[in-house]
C-alpha cells in the first residue's frame, strides 16, 4: 500500500471520528436547548415542538423537564409530555426523578381539565407505575381547620406495604461493600415490581406511627451472606441466611419465614481472570437476594390480605447445609 493511500485512509478515519464526536456533542446540546425552550419559550407551538423533539431523542435527562411540562397552561404540551413520559420512565431513571414523574402523571390523570390529557396521563401512569419505589411522602396533615377529609391522599400514601432492607450483612468478611449493596438492590428491584416501598423519606426508618399514618403494613427482610467461595475452575458459590418478619423489630420478633438456600452461578469463560470472578460473585449474591425477596412475596401478601398482621405466623425453612 502506497504512502499516499495510507495517509488518505488515516485522514478519512480521523474525519469519521470527528463526525461521531460532533454528533454526540450536538445531541447533548440539542437536549439542553430543547429543555430550555420547553421551560421558557412563550410560544405554545414552540414549546409543543420542543416536547415532541425530546420524545424523539429518547434521552432520560428530559424526564424532569417533561414532568414540569405536565403543568403547562397549553393542553397540547401537557398531552405530549404525558405520552413521552410513558415511554421514558423506567427503573434506570433516578428514583426521585421517576417517583415525581409517576406521581404527577397520576395527579394529571385525576385532575386535568382536558379529557384527552387525563386519558393519556392515565394510560402512561399504568405503563410506568410499577417503577415507583423507595421514598414515601408524609401524608397530608389533618390538623387545624382543614375539614377536607375526603381529599384523595398522595399515591405513595396509598401503597400498602413497606419492606425494611437495612439488615443486609456480610458474614464471610470476603464480600465488598459493592456486593452487599448489590444484594440489597436486587431485593429492592424485586419488591419494586410489586410497587412496594423499601425506603423512607429523609433516609430514616419509619416508626409505627409513620406507617399507620401512611396506611401501610411494615415488614423486614434480613439477609446475611454466610458463604462466598471460588473454585479452581472459577465457579462461584454463595449461601445466605434469610429472615422475613414484621416491622418494626422489637423484643418480640415475629418471623414469617426463615431459610438458607444455596445459589450457584458459574461462567463458562470465567477462568481465573479477577474481573470475571468478581462479576460471577456479583451475579451469585444478587440472584440469591432476588430469590429470597421473591419467595417472601407470597408470605407478605398473605399477611396483608388477612388484615391481621399481628396474628400467628408460619415458619418456613428451605434447604440448609
Closest CA to 206 of 222, 218, 196: 218
- 136 compared with 123, residue with greater pLDDT: 123
The domain defined by 7-131 folds into 1.25.10
Q: How far apart are CA 163 and CA 184, in angstroms?
A: 11
Cell numbers linked to 314: 408460619
Verdict on whether the full-model pTM lies above 0.75: no
pLDDT at 319: 34
User: In this prediction, what percent of the chain has a pLDDT beyond 70?
Assistant: 68
Pairwise CA distance, residues 61 & 54, whole Å: 9
Rounded (5°) CA angle 74-76-79: 115
Least confident of 83-97, 146-160, 229-243, 272-286: 146-160
Query: Is the separation of the CB atoms in 63 and 88 below 8 Å?
Result: yes
The SS3 call for residue 42 is: coil
The three cell numbers of residue 85 are 413520559
Q: What is d(CA 63, CA 180) in angstroms, rounded to the nearest whole number? A: 30
> What's the Cα-to-Cα distance from 93 to each of 98, 132, 163, 201, rounded to whole Å?
6, 10, 21, 18
pLDDT 10s digits, 196-234: 888 776 677 888 888 887 778 889 999 989 888 888 877
Asked if 123 contacts 161 with a C-beta cutoff of 8 angstroms, the reply is no
How many C-beta atoms lie closer than 10 Å to residue 319's C-beta?
Answer: 9
Supply the pLDDT for residue 147.
Answer: 40
Share the mean pLDDT of the chain: 74
Quote the crossing angle between the two packed helices 3-40 and 44-57, to the nearest 10°. Answer: 130
- Fold match between 7-131 and 157-306? no
Report d(CA 56, CA 50) in Å as an integer: 10
- For the chain, the domains span 7-131, 157-306
Q: CATH number of the domain at 157-306, please? A: 3.40.50.10610
The C-alpha torsion from 123 through 71 and 108 to 29, rounded to 10°, is 30
Amino acid at each position: 500500500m502506497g504512502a499516499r493511500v495510507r495517509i488518505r485512509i488515516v485522514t478519512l478515519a480521523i474525519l469519521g471520528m470527528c463526525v461521531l464526536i460532533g454528533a454526540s456533542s450536538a445531541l447533548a446540546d440539542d437536549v439542553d436547548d430543547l429543555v430550555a425552550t420547553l421551560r421558557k419559550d412563550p410560544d405554545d407551538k414552540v414549546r409543543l415542538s420542543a416536547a415532541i423533539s425530546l420524545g424523539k431523542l429518547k434521552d432520560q435527562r428530559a424526564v424532569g423537564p417533561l414532568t414540569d411540562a405536565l403543568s403547562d397552561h397549553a393542553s397540547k404540551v401537557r398531552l405530549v409530555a404525558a405520552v413521552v413520559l410513558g415511554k421514558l420512565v423506567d427503573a434506570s431513571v433516578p428514583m426521585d426523578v421517576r417517583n415525581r414523574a409517576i406521581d404527577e402523571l397520576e395527579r394529571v390523570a385525576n385532575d386535568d381539565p382536558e379529557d384527552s390529557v387525563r386519558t393519556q396521563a392515565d394510560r402512561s401512569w399504568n405503563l410506568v407505575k410499577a417503577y415507583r419505589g423507595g421514598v414515601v411522602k408524609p401524608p397530608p396533615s389533618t390538623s387545624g381547620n382543614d375539614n377536607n377529609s375526603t381529599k384523595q391522599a398522595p399515591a405513595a400514601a396509598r401503597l400498602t406495604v413497606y419492606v425494611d432492607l437495612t439488615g443486609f450483612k456480610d458474614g464471610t468478611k470476603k464480600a465488598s461493600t459493592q456486593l452487599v449493596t448489590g444484594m440489597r438492590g436486587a431485593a429492592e428491584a424485586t419488591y419494586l415490581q410489586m410497587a412496594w416501598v423499601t425506603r423512607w423519606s429523609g433516609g430514616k426508618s419509619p416508626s409505627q406511627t409513620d406507617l399507620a399514618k401512611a396506611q401501610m403494613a411494615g415488614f423486614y427482610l434480613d439477609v446475611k451472606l454466610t458463604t462466598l467461595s471460588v473454585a479452581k475452575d472459577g465457579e462461584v458459590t454463595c449461601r445466605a441466611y434469610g429472615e422475613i418478619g414484621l416491622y418494626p423489630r422489637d423484643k418480640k420478633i415475629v418471623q414469617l419465614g426463615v431459610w438458607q438456600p444455596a445459589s450457584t452461578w458459574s461462567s463458562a469463560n470465567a477462568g481465573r481472570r479477577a474481573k470475571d470472578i468478581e462479576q460471577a460473585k456479583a451475579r451469585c449474591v444478587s440472584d440469591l437476594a432476588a430469590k429470597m425477596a421473591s419467595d417472601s412475596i407470597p408470605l407478605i401478601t398473605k399477611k396483608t390480605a388477612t388484615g391481621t398482621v399481628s396474628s400467628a405466623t408460619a415458619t418456613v425453612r428451605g434447604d440448609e447445609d
